[in-house]
Each structure stands twice: as structure tokens, then as C-alpha cells.
Amino acid sequence: MSKFSIEAFVNETKENSQEKDYFELEKPELLEINLNNQAVWTKAGSMVGYVGNVNFERQGMLSGGLGNLLKKAISGEGTKLMKAEGTGRLYVADNGKKVRILYLENESISVNGNDVLAHDQSIKSDIKMLKSIAGVMAGGLFQVKLTGTGHIAITTHGHPLTLLVTPDAPVFTDPNATVAWSGNLTPELKTNVSLKSLIGRGSGEEFQMKFSGNGWVLIQPYEEVYIVTK
């Protein structure tokens, strides 16, 4: 059999039937969710395929209470979720980004709204806004705080780097390259005026997120620009 035959191609790229974890990486950029008469929240538009009996329901504007209505209305596709429920294998992905699976044990994590791919129904999600107009200009305004016990999946462009935050060594990041951080941290938005005057208003580097205390911050080797939709 030729190594370029269709049979060889199928054998090389077919799913791994030996692994049946609830959340598992079928490929570095492809998450497989094995549903057994249960529900999971996934990023709207992330479904690329499924096998079995799975139903989909888009998150309503009022889900989670009236307090989230305005935030969901203006935060764009990056923070809209879709409920998948049933029995079968669900495959989700996001523009070829790397997928990382985490298991929270009564813990919380904050994630850039555009980088949440999926999470257990048992995980509570709440959209947070940085209270600064600089966040709008830098594209890093909306985050999702995930809290509870269960699986979550986040995405990054390329291989991420974790920076440790200590009281004597705060961490500064570009909002467009910041993916996630430990739930106990609350970032501040800073404006570097001298840098702004040097490189002009069109660049995002004049805005920085400052993390202080004890924790960690996950960054990616890519500055992602987020488009807010009406």
C-alpha cells in the first residue's frame, strides 16, 4: 500500500477510539467531548462535527439573569456560548488554535472571553468587564470568570507561556496577548503615555494589564484583535 493512498490517509488521521475521557484532545487543535446523556457549554460556532444524538441550543440573551444582558449584547461572538446535550462524541475547535484542558476543583480561573472553548454545565460562568475605557481601545475588555468543579477547555494561538506573579514582582502584559489568569487576581489597566506618543494611537502596546499579588498569568505569542459586534 502506498503511503499516499486514501487508506493510509484515513489510518493516519482517523480518531483514536481507545481514549474515551469526558474531555480529551483528539488533536492539539481539536477537542473531543464524550457526552453520556449530559450537557456541556461550548463556544458558539465551534462545533466541527459529532457522532450520535446531540442537540444544540444557543444561549439566550437573558440566561444568567438580567445583570448579564447588556454585557452579552455588546461583547460579541467571543463570549456567546452554545449548549450541547445528548449522547455521542462532539468535536469542537476554534480557527486552528491550540486547545488546553483544565480540571477545576472548587477553583476559579479568569479567561479572555474569546479563548473559552468549552466547560462543564456544573461550572459557573460570569462575564466580567474591566472598568476602564482603555479596555475598549486595547480590545481586552471582556473576560469570563469560570468557577466550580469540572472540566474546561481554553484556546491559545501557538504555545502559551505562564508567568508567575508575586508580591515583589508584578507582571505586565499586552491585553491582546493575555489568555487567562488565576481567579484570585484582579488586573488593572495601565496607559503608558510616553509609549503612546512614540508609536501613535494605532498600536496596542501603550495599554498594559498589571497583575499584582500571588498567582499566575497565561500569555500567547500572538496579539489577537477582537471585534465587537452589535
pLDDT of residue 194: 61
Do 49 and 56 contact (CB within 8 A), yes or no? Answer: no
pLDDT higher than 80, residue 81: yes
Residues 208-224: tens digit of each pLDDT:
899 999 999 999 999 88
Residues 143-156: tens digit of each pLDDT:
889 999 999 999 99
Architecture category of domain 19-219 in CATH: 4-Layer Sandwich (3.60)
Report d(CA 172, CA 188) in Å as an integer: 9
Average pLDDT for 6-10: 78
What residue segments make up the domains of the chain, in order of their start?
A: 19-219
Parallel, antiparallel, or unpaired for β 142-156 and 98-112? Answer: antiparallel
Do 226 and 78 contact (CB within 8 A), yes or no? Answer: yes
Parallel, antiparallel, or unpaired for β 124-129 and 142-156? Answer: antiparallel
pLDDT higher than 90, residue 15: no
CA angle 30, 109, 145 (to 5 degrees): 95
pLDDT of residue 228: 44
Indicate the average pLDDT of the chain.
81
